Amino acid sequence: MTIKINNISLTLDEDLEFLKERIAKKLRLSQDNIIKYTILRESLDARKRDNIKFNYSVEVFIEKEEQIVNSLRDNDIQLYKTAIREKIIFGNKKLNTRPIVVGMGPAGMFAALELAKNGYRPLVIERGEAIENRTKKVNNFWKSGILNCDSNVQFGEGGAGTFSDGKLTTRIKDTRCDYVLDEFVKSGAPDEIVYSGKPHIGTDILKIVVKNIREKILMLGGEILFNNRLEDINIKDNKIKSIVVNRTEIPCEVLVMAIGHSSRDTYEMLHRKNIFMEPKPFAIGVRIEHSQKLININQFGKFAEHPRLNAAEYRLTHTCRDSGRAVYSFCMCPGGTVVSASSEPYMVVTNGMSDYKRDKDNANSALVVSVNSSDFLSNSPLSGMEFQRHYEKLAYTTGGGEYAAPVQLAEDFINGRITKKLGNIKPSYKPGYEFSDLKECLPSYVCEALKEGLLEFNKKIKNFSDNNSILTGIETRTSAPLKIIRNEKLQSINLVGLYPSGEGAGFAGGIISAAVDGIKSAECIMKEYSA
């Protein structure tokens, strides 16, 4: 048993050396009585721009902890016991074939790692390439407009999150989250992600982490086949018999389906196999780009250039007065770039990306509007996916082809004018952009909601929606457009042995939650089968 202390504050000019002093003061003890302490959470409090501070929760190791807590009677000080992951009781059913994991994004990666750690020797199938070659393909696409449909921002080792800001925030409460963060640190991520209130890795460091986790899976007996795409599942008596990969049949009994939210051909194959699925709400819109200095000044005021403060973030939400639709910022990338994230030919998709230092000139964020099944083009489980495709094709045409993106300044968009000249900042999107009218590639109700949201957000962040703010179209891959239905054992409800997992199956919303879902899928397999 240890002690947890909440609400310890440090000013911007006080470094972590002051923390032990504040702990001792809270406990009314000498610093010599503190055996050691660990930071559990660090968060930035910028609600008062003239009094920005860091708040900490810490775990403290001292003697007679229970006696001290009882004597202080302070709500910020309590006895603390670290949550421990539930121990797995392994099943005894025999597996005649190795478990197979499809996808090497966070869900597939951590499912494979967990299986490998416990002696199950998983086989991983990934349609894209290892991160080294994948990065070359992506950079070539951004420079030349030559798209590789199997190795791009959406597909390949690390998943879509590898070319993003590498955010590690999550709303789920699960002890496995700490395990994932710890695994990231062991694989090369900075220590601070364990306690930061808004942890991120950045795409540059995430590539290193992904490679190191791959090597660990291989060292533990796993096997990874890159450039191998799942084409079919052979079924007998409602059970998986085998899978077809690059026209080769592989015997299979247990299949973790961690395909990511953009594997549309795989969704179509599953639909042909009558795997139960249903459309799922998501959101579409644009990327909005500002000067990072503008965001820093709005969020931090006179402290905008303070060396202890990183590039500022924002989170904005609005509910439309008439339609009730949600308009919100999503995947905000401080000091980053807007990137082309297309995965199918003749379609334009955008995303945001930042390196660990977040030191580029522009800030960007998705600005999106909620859509649901009543908006889609049919009643099929794939209707959300087809909805995405429809508008991505329009964006390609509106941008003039060659994967150029349509752009419009925010004030021009609000007033229905096509932009003819840029303001103070330049779009960071590559391979190119075209001044356009974004209403040509978005539903009218999305455009109306975006206009209303932009006017409201301009009240919260000064100059947020002026003609120095760039809108780049379009953002469609905010989450999976469908959900693959599964039971309490995380198996498909109508195909024994199929474990839909992660964001692509509709059960996660980011790197951490996807990784946790992959671990849970692996645990369900291990609880039923022996290694």
**Residue 261: both structure tokens together:** 């939210």
State residue 418's pLDDT score. 96
Residue identified by tokens 């920005």 is 52
Residue 528's pLDDT band (boundaries 50, 70, 90)? very high
Residues with Cβ within 8 Å of 44's Cβ and at least 6 positions away in sequence, in order, are 52, 53, 54, 55, 197, 198, 309
Asked if the model's pLDDT at residue 151 lies above 90, the reply is yes
Is the pLDDT confidence value at 84 over 90?
no
* Whole-angstrom distance, CA of residue 433 vs CA of residue 506: 32
Whether the pLDDT of residue 205 is over 90: the answer is yes
Tell me what percent of the residues of the chain surpass a pLDDT of 90: 96
Q: What is the pLDDT of residues 231-280, one digit of tens each?
A: 999 999 999 999 999 999 999 999 999 999 999 999 999 999 999 999 99
4-44: pLDDT as tens digits: 999 999 999 999 999 999 999 999 999 999 999 999 999 99
Q: What is the pTM of this model?
A: 0.96
Backbone φ and ψ for 390, nearest 5 degrees, come out as -55, -50
- Other beta carbons within 10 angstroms of residue 64's beta carbon come to 10
Token pair for 144: 């030349």
CA torsion, ordered 150, 154, 157, 161, to nearest 10 deg: 180
The CA-based angle 296-302-304, given to 5 degrees, is 25
The answer, yes or no, to whether residue 83 has pLDDT greater than 90, is no
Instruction: Determine whether 332 is exposed, middle or buried from the number of CB atoms within 10 Å of its CB (0-12, 13-18, 19+).
Output: buried
Checking if the pLDDT of 377 tops 90, the result is: no
CA dihedral 298, 18, 185, 357 (to 10 degrees): 30
Would you state the structure tokens that stand for residue 16, as one six-digit string? 């972590």
Q: What is the DSSP letter of 174?
A: -
Query: Residue 139 pLDDT more than 90?
Result: yes
* Averaged pLDDT score across all residues of the chain: 96
**Sign of the dihedral defined by the CA atoms of residues 66, 68, 72, 75, in that order:** negative
Tell me the backbone φ, ψ of residue 154, rounded to 5 degrees. -90, -35
The partner residues of 290 in beta bridges, in order of sequence, read 363
Determine the pLDDT at residue 86. Answer: 86
Q: Is 83 exposed, middle or buried (0-12, 13-18, 19+ CB in 10 A)?
A: exposed
Q: What is the pLDDT of residue 174?
A: 92
Instruction: Identify the band that residue 527 occupies on the pLDDT scale cut at 50, 70 and 90.
Output: very high
Q: What is the pLDDT of residue 451?
A: 98
Q: How many CB atoms lie within 10 A of CB 205?
A: 20
Using 50, 70 and 90 to split pLDDT, how confident is the model at 459?
Answer: very high
In this structure, are residues 365 and 465 in contact, taking their beta carbons and an 8 Å threshold? no
Bridge partner list, 3: 60, 79
Residue 1 pLDDT more than 90?
no
Tokens of 487: 């039971």
